[in-house]
Amino acid sequence: MLTSYLLIFHLVGDQASKIEAPLNPNTINPGVANANYAVRGKLAELAAKIRKELESGSLNYPFKTTIQANLGNPQGCGQRPITFFRQVLCLAEYPEILDAPGDLLKECFMPDATKKAKWLLQHMGSLGAYSSNSGVEQIRESVSTFISSRDRYPSCPNDIFLTCGAFEGMLTALTLISGGSQRNERTGVLLPVPFYPVYLALLSTLALNPIPYYLNEEQGWAMPSGKEFASIIRQSKSRGITPRCVIIINPNNPTGAVYDQPHLESVIELAAEERLLLLADEVYQENVFPPSEFKSCKFVLRSLQATHAMDEKYSTLQLISLHSVSKGMVGEGGQRGGYFEAAGFSPFCKQQIQKLVTYTLQPTTVGQVLIECMVNPPQPGQASYPQYKQEYDSIFQRLKQKAEALYDAFKRMPGIVCQAPRGAIYEFPQVQLPPAAVAEAMSFGESPDTWYCMEMLKATGICVVPGSGFGMSNGTIDGKIWFRITFLGEGEEWIAQLENYQSDFMARFRN
Amino acid sequence: MLTSYLLIFHLVGDQASKIEAPLNPNTINPGVANANYAVRGKLAELAAKIRKELESGSLNYPFKTTIQANLGNPQGCGQRPITFFRQVLCLAEYPEILDAPGDLLKECFMPDATKKAKWLLQHMGSLGAYSSNSGVEQIRESVSTFISSRDRYPSCPNDIFLTCGAFEGMLTALTLISGGSQRNERTGVLLPVPFYPVYLALLSTLALNPIPYYLNEEQGWAMPSGKEFASIIRQSKSRGITPRCVIIINPNNPTGAVYDQPHLESVIELAAEERLLLLADEVYQENVFPPSEFKSCKFVLRSLQATHAMDEKYSTLQLISLHSVSKGMVGEGGQRGGYFEAAGFSPFCKQQIQKLVTYTLQPTTVGQVLIECMVNPPQPGQASYPQYKQEYDSIFQRLKQKAEALYDAFKRMPGIVCQAPRGAIYEFPQVQLPPAAVAEAMSFGESPDTWYCMEMLKATGICVVPGSGFGMSNGTIDGKIWFRITFLGEGEEWIAQLENYQSDFMARFRN
């Protein structure tokens, strides 16, 4: 049996094979084949290789650990989970502890964590049981209460859909507007550039056409003006593309911008004019540094609708907004909890969303528990509150400090311009590469931005993502490049390393 | 603000609105609008309503609880989680217990559960951190070891992709073959009828064309012969549909059939002849009642390849097979753990799958922990083994007993024919409705199968799914209907109730 098995492998490996495999370059979904996704590309592979070498004792590098500044992975970078959340999860996973003999329960768990776990078990049954496809009713109620009190406009529990992370909300929204080719339409989606690469890949997979709208770097990665938006729309229509949706990422990934009310109003006015579905990705809403303030798209939409109460252009607008437990002070990305709110849909559309969700979503029970804890955390007077408050604030403060320290360092670095960090967990500096550096990159057959990031990784252990992954130019033409870096890394030593690296780099290529 | 807000609502509700909302019946994805999904339809809604009434003390029904025999939701029907699995999860969620003062750890946890949790934390870090998109390397290794030892053919960890439940594997496989319209192809997928409805809905959403292949009820829901398959293919091609994939559900949902090697060989031969991607849904592989035996599609494929070692038709075949922690004795559906194995793909296709997974999958860490526990459970000699064995066996025995008791009852019931249950967690009986029953259903404007199931629900509290949801006829023409029923319900009293109901029903409509 083994012999013939090896023989098969030999045959499979044979490039001269005349019979095509079922899935091959000609039959694979072109939307998948053409999709581009770079966040976990070449750089991440090299970083993984270096990490393995370091772990097995290699002394080949001038650093002891790598910094995964390429991923928005808070707990992967040492952010500690909120204790209350984990106590609740622990008890919900193994309720036998609730009946543990003696004082075990009291010694290890806060009474309000015990109470929350019991409440959840009462409404969810075992965490192993499926919940309703839109999520547990009581948790959807908690989410709508959270949104109502955040925005001071009502939110309805029936508009809330619990998901496995924010991704499923994106996929649901974009699935709803795809399929245009079935009525001979080339459907377009307005996408900010620089973009979060998952969106571009998803648009390709769903045969939707991206309509880029460029953020204005000099103005802190501002949104286009109404006039600029109008021109973008005109151009896309002249290419035969019908815009149907606009994606807003606020706080913004990768730039760290936070949009104020006038900015959001101009996008919503565009949506009103052009009949666009609003897709608001607001997963970084807790990661906002004062004096910047988070205004939800829902709040701005409702405010505009109130101002233009008699104008159907506004009243008929529809919004899908996303949130998750992956970022913020929760940072539980691996556990996959999220929700989307679908506001303003007709009963017909609502029914279609409900149906789609019924055969595509099954939010994990653990993710739902975390959503409940996030939107309904310990309150003053409850046993867990002091610890919760201390943990939350200290995570926030540390992120703020690191964001500022990194920004201050960028300001000092030669050849680098960076916008001030307002929110999210990233900075997106611009680097002006000296011509000699561009030439060296090209001599290795690499694009200048990827090469620059590889050099940085090899010299400092810091792994970042080249700007071309977010739709920015790669530096070939004018040596202007960008990269995205998270400031999640533990400590601040790596910031100093980065600063030294950039000084050395610029010195090395000074003409 | 409140006044104008109410005004908006008034406007939104106004049917005479002249401005169309962005998402409306004309712009929504026709694949979503046309999708049909019935498992959680009218019946489930009525059952939920009755359940609420019962909970608030209603005495309007001749039963005290409803039986959710419509869903394959083991723990939702009282199946207990495996203790070892939950101990591991509990410790991994809240590792502080590992260092708890006093005796909590020793009193509440088995030493091998502690060891497994530590091993997982070592390789995963915090459960809140993202893992690699295809899942934690060490767990993928465990899965491939499990598959290799199950099939006695090698499995490669790089072919294993961990997922949130089996659904993501289906979605990945079908996404890979969709997009055919971009090369003017109407791509078809062979789908067994009766089918698992999620597949049909997903095909519609992805603009793929179902090519039904009917299972032969009299022969225990057998697969078609090679000749029948050839005729099905011929017909679909004559309709301009190019078959690219065949779905095999084994053990079968909804029929409870388990396919033997010759059956699977005939499908694989078809796939070889027609260049079809094999998509094997094997989530019920542990739910098999002896003397029936589970043979994986991978095993049969490799055996055929070994027999036809020089034949490229076989050696180039590709298989995506699915498994999950949702069914079997694990039954942790709410926690979303799954995997797929993608075997036989070229480096190019492998790269595309890897890329697709990188922007669409992020398997939950909890699901991955459960996968590890499922494929690598306690072994003889380990502390948890006796309890694990006892729990596993008793779940298995109880399911077997209930399957047999239900089947025996069906054999005694007038007007019902049912195939013997071989595996999975369902039976799919056929009911011959008397003409008077069909007439009564029609007089209520209901399809006979839905009406029959509603009557059953109201009389017994047992909620099942009408056969039309699985692609069977609804009884309008000849009064022949089907329904799917799980035998997960606690106890066996409900089986007696069902038997009484059917006797009364037949008596009521006897001419």
A22–B107: do the CB atoms touch at under 8 Å?
no
**E strand or H helix that includes residue B190:** strand B186-193
> Would the CB atoms of B336 and A171 count as touching at under 8 Å?
no
Residues of A in contact with B245 (CB under 8 A): 22
**What mean pLDDT do residues A148-159 have?**
98
Supply the pLDDT for residue B101: 72
pLDDT surpassing 50 at residue B48: yes
Question: What residues of A are in contact with residue B335 (Cβ under 8 Å)?
Answer: 127-128, 364-366
pLDDT digits (tens, 9 = 90+) for B221-238: 999 999 999 999 999 999
Give pLDDT tens digits for B401-447: 999 999 999 999 999 999 999 999 999 999 999 999 999 999 999 99
Q: For residues B191 and B188, what is the distance between their CA atoms, to the nearest angstrom?
A: 9
Determine, for residues B22 and A107 on separate chains, whether the beta-carbon distance falls below 8 Å: no
Q: Give the contacts of A209 (CB within 8 A, at least 6 positions apart).
A: A186, A187, A188, A189, A203, A236, A241
Nearest to A177 among B23, B37, B313 (CB): B23
User: Does pLDDT of A36 surpass 60?
Assistant: yes
Q: Do B335 and A25 touch (CB under 8 A)?
A: no
- Region B53-67: what's the mean pLDDT? 92
What is the overall mean pLDDT for chain A? 94
- Mean pLDDT rounded to a whole number for chain B: 94
Res A370: pLDDT: 98
C-beta atoms of B128 and A349 within 8 A: no
DSSP B462: B
Contacts with B178 from chain A: Cβ below 8 Å: 29, 31
Q: At residue A4, does pLDDT exceed 80? A: no
- Using N-to-C axis directions, what is the helix angle for A385-412 and A493-508, rounded to 10°? 10
Instruction: Name the B residues in 320-339 with CB < 8 Å from any A CB.
Output: 331-336
The token duo for B221 is: 């829901």
Confidence band of A38 (pLDDT split at 50, 70, 90): low
Please tell me the distance from the alpha carbon of residue B71 to that of residue B50, in angstroms, as a whole number: 17
Q: Which tens digits make up the pLDDT trace of B448-459?
A: 999 999 999 999
Q: What confidence category does residue B17 fall into, taking pLDDT thresholds of 50, 70 and 90?
A: low
**Residue range B363-386: mean pLDDT, rounded:** 98
Whether pLDDT at A7 is above 50: no
Q: Which residues of B touch A186 (CB under 8 A)?
A: none
Q: In chain A, which residue's Cα lies nearest the Cα of B325?
A: A128
Q: For A332, which residue in chain B has the nearest alpha carbon?
A: B128
Asked if residue B39 has pLDDT above 60, the reply is: no
- Overall average pLDDT of the B13-34 stretch: 82
Contact criterion met (CB < 8 Å) for A356 and B11: no
Tell whether A267 is within 8 A of chain B (Cβ): no
* B chain contacts of residue A37, beta-carbon cutoff 8 Å: 355, 358-359
pLDDT class for B38, splitting at 50, 70, 90?
low
Asked whether residue A105 carries a pLDDT value surpassing 90, the answer given is no
Across the A:B interface, residue pairs with CB atoms under 8 Å apart total 367
pLDDT-derived band at B2, boundaries 50, 70, 90: very low
Closest Cα in chain B to A178: B29
How does residue B272 score in pLDDT terms, banded at 50, 70 and 90? very high
Order of strands, edge to edge, in the sheet holding B319-324? Answer: B160-163, B338-343, B319-324, B277-281, B241-249, B186-193, B209-214
Put simply, whether A126 touches B (Cβ < 8 Å) is yes
pTM for this structure?
Answer: 0.95
Q: Which of A18, A167, A277 sits opposite B23 (nearest CB)?
A: A277
Q: Do A334 and B131 touch (CB under 8 A)?
A: yes
Contact A130 B334 (CB under 8 A): yes
| C-alpha–C-alpha distance, residues B502 and A275, integer Å | 54
A81 touching chain B per CB within 8 A: yes
pLDDT at B103 over 70: yes
Contact B253, B284 (CB under 8 A): yes
User: What proportion of chain A, given as a percentage, has pLDDT over 70?
Assistant: 96
What domains can be seen in chain B, in order of their start residue?
Answer: 2-29 (no CATH), 35-77+390-508 (3.90.1150.10), 89-122 (no CATH), 130-375 (3.40.640.10)
Percent of chain A with pLDDT over 90: 91
Task: Please give the pLDDT value at position A5.
Answer: 44
Indicate whether B203 pLDDT > 80: yes
Closest CA to A221 of A200, A192, A188, A242: A192
Tell me which residues of chain B, numbers 136 to 195, contact chain A at a CB-CB cutoff of 8 Å.
152-154, 164-165, 167, 171, 175-183
- So what's the pLDDT on residue A39? 54
Give the pLDDT band (50/70/90) at residue B12: very low
Q: Measured between alpha carbons, how far is B320 from A21 in angstroms, rounded to an integer?
A: 13
Residues 341-400 on A with a CB inside 8 Å of B are 344-346, 348-349, 352, 355-356, 358-360, 362, 364-367
**The pLDDT of residue B4 is above 70:** no
Q: Quickly list H helices, B257-384.
A: 261-274, 297-307, 312-315, 347-360, 365-375
Whether A462 shows a pLDDT value over 90: the answer reads: yes
Of A22, A129, A349, the CB nearest to B275: A22
Task: Provide the pLDDT for residue B37.
Answer: 78
Q: Is the pLDDT score of A15 beyond 50?
A: no
Question: Is the predicted pLDDT of residue A68 greater than 50, yes or no?
Answer: yes
Identify the residue among A52, A55, A130 best suited for mutation to test binding to B, counting B beta carbons within 10 A and taking the highest: A130
